[in-house]
Structure 1
Amino acid sequence: MTLASHFRELRNRLVKAIGAVIVATVVAGLFYKQLIGFVVAPLPGCATVKGGGTAASGRCGVIAASGLLTPFTLALKVSLAAGLIGASPVWLYQLWAFVAPGLHRSEKKYTLAFLSTGIPLFLAGAAFAYAVLPTTARVLISLTPDQVTNILPIEDFLDLATRMVVVFGLSFELPLFLIMLNLAGVLSARRMVGWWRQMVLGVTVFAAIATPSTDPLTMLALAGPIIALYLAACAVSWFSDRHTARKGAASLSPDEASPLSALHESGHRR
């Protein structure tokens, strides 16, 4: 294909991907209230009492929308985020279809395997972040002084939830990245295992910096699964290295001397 043909192919793929995102965003916009309710559900709000006030017992937060344009902005943000997630199979396929003609058969096989593994890992991280949100919110709200009502702007909570979902989702991709380096021959399993102390320290520091909230509970909730996934990546890489070593040994002919044997024979003759 000529350069102009590549640009036309890229344009067509982008049009299809953006079109799918727009359609999914419009469909999500029809249910934006349900989507916002789903996102805000982990946030502990104050219980309403008679007289229009809120319950004074316990620490809670009043979920509020500040500003006239805030509801429209929230609807747009939530619909766009849901559209990107809902249309992800389409735009990921368009990306794959654009890159695939330039790959070898083995590279296509590995790319499909990484895509089919990376998407569930990201979704698992996002689901884990959503599960941790209620505990994070309760810990942060518990710091509110007595006799003080915490006004919780809904846009701030949505930003917090979005950051946590993105951070947790991308962090769960760490084992896939390590296995990719191992299959490429850049990083061996022995070296990965030898770095376990540095990795645990690095993951802990990363969790402390990357988590949107400052409470140690959220930091440990992020660091624990990443360390477990790192150990799983070490195990997978160890089996991969053993398989590669056996395959290399089996490829030698019975009458063919290994490099060490040939070197020993030449030294013995001398």
Structure 2
Amino acid sequence: MALLEHFKELKNRLIKSLIALALASVGGWFLYQPVIASLSAPLEQISQEMHRSASLNYASIASPFEFQLRIAIEIGLVISSPVWIYQVWAFVTPGLTRKERKYTLGFMAAAIPLFLVGVFVAWSVIPNVVRALLHFTPENASNLISADDYLTFATHMLLFLGIAFLVPVVLVGVNMLGVLSGKAILKAWRITVFGVFVLAAIAAPGADAFSMFLLALPLLVLFFLAIGICLLNDRRRARREGAKAEENEEEANQATPFEDLGKL
């Protein structure tokens, strides 16, 4: 394709992605009330338990509208993620080989549900994190939290755990490209396990250790499953390279036919 045709293709993909985002954001606008009720639930619980003011604070008259608009767009981004991720893949895929296309399609099929699972887990643990952090507020003090700061905190939590669930897919992709071997990834298992449990302790700071293990278990299962896939891929690559080396050696050991020598 000519450069101008590539730009036209990119424009069409962007328009389709924006249409999907706009439609999903309309749905997000109507989902605002249950979403904000769920996000505000920890503040209401703190207010009742500790008998002090704990609520979201809107700094200006237009802030509630801006807050609802931002949440609607972010909900729309999550809902429409399969559409715009597919549009990105469809734009890139003509320049890939058939094998690379197969790999990228497999990574997309694994990455999208894993990211959504990570977002769901984050959504489930945000109330625990908020409740734990607000317990550090001194007595006779109030928690009048800026709505913008609260939304930023919740968004970061959602993205952080969503990306954490994508790490196994990234590890397999790096291994497929030959950048890291499965053994090299396996050597860092102690640091990874420690990091996962630290993350789980922060995200699920309950009095019991069960909630921490419940959050850490799926991350560890995904990590070691990714290592197993990397090790199998290394073994398959070694067999393939060994067979190729044997073929080259057999060809090198064969005598050149007399007719070919005459042509030379």
> Which TM-score tier does this pair reach, normalised by the shorter chain?
0.7 to 0.9
Q: Supply the AA of the counterpart residue of 2:21.
A: V
When normalised by structure 2's length, the TM-score is 0.78
Call closer, same or farther: CA 1:234–1:44 in 2, change over 3 Å: same
Unaligned runs of 5+ in 1: 48-53, 263-270
**Structure 2 residue corresponding to 1:235, chosen from 202, 217, 228:** 228
Partner of 2:17: 17
Q: Identity of aligned pairs, percent?
A: 34
How do residues 111-260 of structure 1 correspond to structure 2 at under 5 angstroms? 111-197=104-190, 199=192, 203=195, 217-218=202-203, 226=219, 228-248=221-241
Deviation at 1:233, TM superposition (A): 1.8
Partner of 2:65: 72
Separation in 2, partners of 1:130, 1:30: 18
Partner of 1:45: 44
Deviation at 1:28, TM superposition (A): 2.1
Q: Supply the AA of the counterpart residue of 1:26.
A: V
The farther-off stretch of 227-236 and 120-129 is 227-236
Deviation at 1:110, TM superposition (A): 0.6
Partner of 2:260: none
The farther-off stretch of 231-240 and 8-17 is 231-240
* 3-state SS of 1:39 partner: helix
* 3-state SS of 2:44 partner: coil
Deviation at 1:26, TM superposition (A): 2.3
Deviation at 1:251, TM superposition (A): 6.5
Q: Supply the AA of the counterpart residue of 2:182.
A: A
Deviation at 1:186, TM superposition (A): 1.8
Separation in 1, partners of 2:128, 2:79: 27
* 3-state SS of 2:145 partner: strand
Deviation at 1:237, TM superposition (A): 0.8
Call closer, same or farther: CA 1:60–1:251 in 2, change over 3 Å: farther
Separation in 2, partners of 1:9, 1:39: 40
Q: Which has more helix, going by share of residues?
A: 2
Call closer, same or farther: CA 1:230–1:58 in 2, change over 3 Å: same
Separation in 1, partners of 2:28, 2:5: 35
Deviation at 1:27, TM superposition (A): 3.0
Call closer, same or farther: CA 1:186–1:73 in 2, change over 3 Å: same
Separation in 1, partners of 2:250, 2:51: 76
Partner of 1:29: 29
Alpha-carbon contact 2:115-2:165 (below 8 Å) kept: yes
Deviation at 1:133, TM superposition (A): 1.2
* 3-state SS of 1:45 partner: helix
* 3-state SS of 2:130 partner: helix
When normalised by structure 1's length, the TM-score is 0.76
Deviations 1:184-213 (A, max 9, x none): 222111121223345557x47xx78xx9xx
Q: How many residues align?
A: 244
Deviations 1:57-82 (A, max 9, x none): 53665223323122101111111001
Alpha-carbon contact 2:52-2:140 (below 8 Å) kept: no
Deviation at 1:5, TM superposition (A): 0.9
* 3-state SS of 2:50 partner: coil
Q: Supply the AA of the counterpart residue of 2:202.
A: L
Separation in 2, partners of 1:129, 1:121: 12
Separation in 2, partners of 1:244, 1:128: 35
Unaligned runs of 5+ in 2: 206-211, 254-264
Partner of 1:265: none
Separation in 1, partners of 2:202, 2:28: 33
Q: Supply the AA of the counterpart residue of 2:146.
A: P
Call closer, same or farther: CA 1:60–1:122 in 2, change over 3 Å: farther
Call closer, same or farther: CA 1:117–1:60 in 2, change over 3 Å: farther
